[in-house]
Copies of this chain bind each other. A is one copy, B any other.
C-alpha cells in the first residue's frame, strides 16, 4: 500500500468507473500497471465493492430519521432477534450498537416523516420492550461514502 494505491482508492471512491487512462495519468503509471493494482486491491479486499448511489429525492425517499434506542434486554439472543428485525426492514439502512446510555442508533430512509410510524410499528411488533427517540433530519450538511485514505 503506497501513495499510488491511495490515490487510486481516492479516485475510485469519487468515481468507481474512472477510466484507466485517467488513473494512469494521475499516478504516472501505464494503464496495464494500474489495472493490475486495482485487481490486487480488489482481491485483497481493500475495495469491498462498487455500488450505484441513487438520488434520494428522485427515488422518493428524501427523509432521513435517526433513532436512538434504549432497551432493558441485554442478552445475546435479544441482540440476534434485533439484528434480524432491522435487517428485514429495508428502510433501516444503518444500525450500530453503542457505548453509553444509548444502546442502539438506527438510520432510516423514508418517503416522508409520516412513514416513520409504519416502520416504528413494524419494529415494536417484532421486538418487546424498548424506548425510541426519533430525530428527524431537517438538512443534510454533509453526506457521502468517501473515507480518508491517508490511514491505509
Name the B residues within 8 Å of A152 (CB-CB): 58-60
Q: Are B66 and A55 in contact (CB under 8 A)?
A: no
Q: How far is the CA of A50 from the CA of B54 in the complex (A)?
A: 9
Question: How many residues of chain A have a CB within 8 Å of chain B?
Answer: 64
Is chain A's interface secondary structure helix, strand, loop, or mixed overall? mixed
Closest B residue by C-beta to A52: B12
Query: Which one of B52, B64, B87, B142 lies within 8 Å of A16 (CB-CB)?
Result: B52
A136-B99, A138-B99, A139-B97 known; A58+B83 contact, CB < 8 A: no
A14 on the interface (CB 8 Å rule)? Answer: yes
B47, B58, B137: which contacts A46 (Cβ < 8 A)? B58
Asked if A111 CB lies within 8 Å of chain B CBs, one says yes
* Copies in the assembly, this chain: 2
Docked complex Cα distance between A151 and B55 (Å): 12
30 contacts between A and B (CB under 8 A): A9-B59, A12-B52, A14-B49, A16-B52, A44-B58, A45-B58, A46-B59, A47-B52, A47-B54, A48-B55, A50-B51, A53-B145, A54-B147, A54-B149, A58-B152, A59-B151, A59-B152, A60-B151, A61-B151, A83-B142, A86-B141, A90-B146, A90-B147, A93-B145, A95-B142, A98-B137, A98-B138, A99-B136, A100-B135, A105-B137
